[in-house]
């Protein structure tokens, strides 16, 4: 079965540094991966989608990579700010199942001023 794993340990970094979160998947490469942000008591908010044939995607201070050899996606936040503190979720599509997504358990990021 397809699985997706994120580092369950919280990531604590200093303001201004780059945060890097990891998402690993098993079995075949998904056609795309998605990244979401979730704040306490709120639903996840979509951030980025990266397709299998895209090695890298950027949006403002966010960068996502997709390495099909390592079966891994990295999510980077550059020049991090305390407002970036949240839980970040990675999700993979399940092939040929009409948009079904499997989510990782999320990584909690804390940016200290």
Partner 1 sequence: EAGVAQSPRYKIIEKRQSVAFWCNPISGHATLYWYQQILGQGPKLLIQFQNNGVVDDSQLPKDRFSAERLKGVDSTLKIQPAKLEDSAVYLCASSLDMANTEAFFGQGTRLTVV
Q: Nearest approach, Cβ of 20 to partner 1 (angstroms)?
A: 19
Which range in 11-19, 36-44, 57-65, 66-74 contacts partner 1 by CB under 8 A? Answer: 36-44
| Candidate list 2, 71, 102, 110; residue touching partner 1; CB under 8 A | 102
Say whether residue 46 binds partner 1 (CB under 8 A).
Answer: yes
Which range in 12-20, 55-63, 65-73, 85-93 contacts partner 1 by CB under 8 A? Answer: 85-93
Contacts 24+ apart (CB under 8 A), 9-13: 9/107, 10/107, 10/108, 10/109, 10/110, 11/107, 11/108, 11/109, 11/110, 12/110, 12/112, 13/80, 13/109, 13/110, 13/111, 13/112
DSSP symbol at 18 = P
Q: Nearest approach, Cβ of 79 to partner 1 (angstroms)?
A: 25
Q: Nearest approach, Cβ of 36 to partner 1 (angstroms)?
A: 8
């Amino acid at each position: 079965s397809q699985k997706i794993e994120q580092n369950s340990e919280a990531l604590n970094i200093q303001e201004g540094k780059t945060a890097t979160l990891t998402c690993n998947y098993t079995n075949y490469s998904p056609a795309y991966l998605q990244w979401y942000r979730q704040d306490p008591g709120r639903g996840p908010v979509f951030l980025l989608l990266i397709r299998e044939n895209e090695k890298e995607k950027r949006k403002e201070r966010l960068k996502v990579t997709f390495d099909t050899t390592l079966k891994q996606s990295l999510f980077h936040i550059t020049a991090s700010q305390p407002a970036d503190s949240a839980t970040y979720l990675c999700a993979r599509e399940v092939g040929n199942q009409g948009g079904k997504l499997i989510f990782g358990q999320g990584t909690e990021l804390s940016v200290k001023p």
